[in-house]
Amino acid sequence: MYLNANNISYAYKKNKPILKNLSISIPDNKVIGLMGDSGSGKSTLCKVISGYIKNYTGTVTLDNNLIETKDFYPIQLIFQHPEKTMNPKWKMHKVLSESWNPPQELMDTFGLKDNWLGRWPNELSGGELQRFSILRALNPKTKFIIADEISTMLDAVTQVQIWDALLDYCKQNKIGILAVSHDKELLEVIADDILLFNEINKL
Amino acid sequence: MSSLSKLNPLNSMNLRQKTILLIGLIVLLLVLVYASSLSIDPANILTDFTLRNQPPSFEHLFGTDWLGRDMLTRTIKGLGLSIFIGAVASILSSILAIIMAFISSVNKYGDVLIAWLIDFFASIPHLLLLIMISICLGKGAMGVIIGVACTHWTSLARVLRVEIKEIQTSEYVQLSEKFGKNKFWIAKEHILILVITQVIVGTLLIFPHAIMHEASITFLGFGLSPHEPAIGIILSESMSYLTTGAWWLAVFPGVMLLIIVLLFDILGEEVEKLLDPTKAQK
Ligand SMILES: Nc1ncnc2c1ncn2[C@@H]1O[C@H](COP(=O)(O)OP(=O)(O)OP(=O)(O)O)[C@@H](O)[C@H]1O
Ligand SMILES: [Mg+2]
């Protein structure tokens, strides 16, 4: 399966385009790395691809089919700041099961401790919360993961552990990944190809 | 000094426990007033012409009226009615506010309509609208309750509308949509739990207004009918006896009504402190 974004253009304000005629293709068996300057529009592209921004021009397709927006969205975005993506009045077990109930061994590979499930989001660290938001995105209906600087708040060891678990799961389940990062060394380890944002964005 | 302060149990409690204690006391007091008013059968408020217009004494703490009825009993009966009408009107007006806020959150045109309705209702003087509604519904408890509910939903609806807008643009709600959840599920699971504090506090804070407005329009003759044992009726009747020097007929029921109103006001604020500690620190 292929995720294709074709000729995407987008501007928050009329005369200040952020994305212009940008095309990108991601196969379901690869990890595509994306690097670019701060403020250049990488997160904006991620939001277009995963359905958060709707009034763009161009098309986002899975095997040339447009994506149904009412159902579970097969392209899941993992945000940089997990704390904003969780209802502060929900305990973690509800946060997780809003998407699905992952098997115990998957929770273990991501280092998710059982007693975290009974806590509120503000009782966990950013790194601990990020494990939940990654696991949440790995619903069986997910076909592609858009990872927008998901590991910046983690220390080096944890970063390796989590990326290992994520790459492993995605390989087994044929989930393609777009990994956005400033960290060139990280991308060189995890990505099959690395794209430079300024080269694909035709501004 | 320090050993003395240790003996005082109030000092060893933290702020939260004190708040809970205060809430408990106020609720107890209000329940007591309401329960004792229920236990009074108006038919048992004896008229005794030998005891007409007695000033306050130990047998009749609030004095007696021109028919020799005990004013303490009448006042408590009236307060019970005030609390009941206040409760029904406040709850009704909160329900109205929730429905309005809900409509404005699920539909763009609904939102425009609700925003207009809020401004419209808020711009008419409360008392005027209340009197009009009460008269249209044939006065009585029904008219007063609906009148108060229709005039008091706006402030809570306004708060809820803004709050819900903010929650709807949050990342966790947008993400929820991407998990395929529909608007109603999101309203029920995500939004309700975040606004429930405002709803409870808002309802409690409408209480004092509801009670005062009921009393004032009843006093003016547009509310409850004269044979109902309401504080507004007691006050307006006592007006004609004030000139004869029977001050106690108006003063005690009036002060008691104010105390009840104040209690509800404090209750609302304390509950807000308890449920939303961050706000209380401001
Ligand atoms: N909601 C918004 N409204 C208006 N402008 C925005 C909005 N979000 C982002 N921008 C602007 O769009 C540009 C691109 O932002 P974006 O977040 O996509 O950059 P980025 O490449 O992800 O940067 P970084 O590497 O720092 O995360 C920035 O100039 C930013 O100021
Ligand atoms: Mg970014």
A98/B180 Cβ within 8 A = no
Residues of chain B found within 8 Å of residue A51, distances taken between Cβ atoms = 178
Report whether B216 contacts B128 (CB < 8 A): no
CA–centroid distance, A90 to ligand 1, in Å, is 29
pLDDT tens track, chain B, 282 positions: 455 555 666 666 778 888 899 999 999 999 999 998 888 877 767 777 777 777 788 877 887 877 778 888 888 998 999 899 999 999 999 999 999 998 888 888 999 999 999 999 988 888 888 899 988 988 788 888 999 999 999 999 999 999 999 999 999 999 999 999 998 899 889 999 999 988 999 999 998 989 998 898 888 888 888 888 888 888 888 888 888 878 888 889 999 999 999 999 999 999 988 887 665 443
DSSP state of B190: I
**Chain B partners of A50 at a C-beta cutoff of 8 Å?**
178
CA B84/CA B260 separation, integer angstroms: 12
Give every CB contact of residue B142 below 8 A, 6+ residues apart in sequence: none
- How much helix, strand and coil, in percent to the nearest 5, is found in chain A? 35, 25, 35
Check the CA dihedral B132-B137-B140-B144 and report its sign: negative
pLDDT (mean) for A95-116 = 94
In the prediction, which pLDDT does B1 show? 47
Residue nearest to atom 9 of ligand 1 (CA): A44
Q: Percent of chain A, pLDDT > 70? A: 100
- Atom nearest to A44 CA in ligand 1: 18
Q: How far is CA B147 from CA B38, B53, B90, B98, B176, in A?
A: 24, 35, 11, 17, 39
Contact A9, A57 (CB under 8 A): yes
**For chain A, domain boundaries:** 2-200
Strands A16-27 and A2-13: antiparallel
To the nearest whole Å, the CA of B282 is away from the closest chain A CA by 20
Q: Domain residue spans in chain B?
A: 17-38+71-277
Q: Specify the pLDDT at position B8.
A: 66
**Cα separation of B58 and B53, whole Å?**
15
Interface test with B, best of A73, A81, A86, A87 (most B CBs within 10 A): A87
Tell me which CATH code domain B17-38+71-277 carries.
1.10.3720.10
* Chain B, window 163-202: residues with a beta carbon less than 8 angstroms from a chain A beta carbon: 170-172, 174-176, 178-182, 190, 193-194
Residues of B in contact with A88 (CB under 8 A): 194
3-state helix, strand, coil in chain B (%, to 5): 75, 0, 20
- pLDDT for B10 equals 65
Beta carbons within 8 Å of B149's beta carbon, 6+ residues apart: B89, B92, B93, B96
Tokens read off for B252: 């005690």
How many angstroms separate the CA of residue B158 from the nearest CA in chain A?
Answer: 22
Cβ–Cβ under 8 Å, residues A146 and A48: no
Give the tens place of pLDDT for each residue, A26-65: 999 999 999 999 999 999 999 999 999 999 999 999 999 9
- Which ligand has the nearest atom to the CA of A147? 2
Fold of A2-200: Rossmann fold (3.40.50)
3-state secondary structure B161-188: HHHHHHHHCCHHHHHHHHCCCCHHHHHH
Q: Parallel, antiparallel, or unpaired: how do β-strands A57-62 and A2-13 relate?
A: antiparallel
Q: Which residues line ligand 1 (CB under 6 A)?
A: A 12, 18, 36, 38-44
Residue B64 CA: distances (Å) to CA of A64, B53, B246, B257? 88, 5, 9, 18
Q: Give me the interface pTM, i.e. the ipTM.
A: 0.93
Q: Which residues contact residue A104 at a Cβ distance below 8 angstroms, ignoring those fewer than 6 apart?
A: none
pLDDT at B277: 63
**Of B171, B179, B180, which has the smallest distance from its Cβ to A79's Cβ?**
B171
Residues A155-161, mean pLDDT to the nearest whole number: 89
Question: Which residues does A contribute to its contact with B (CB < 8 Å)?
Answer: 50-52, 70-73, 76-77, 79, 84-90, 98-99, 139
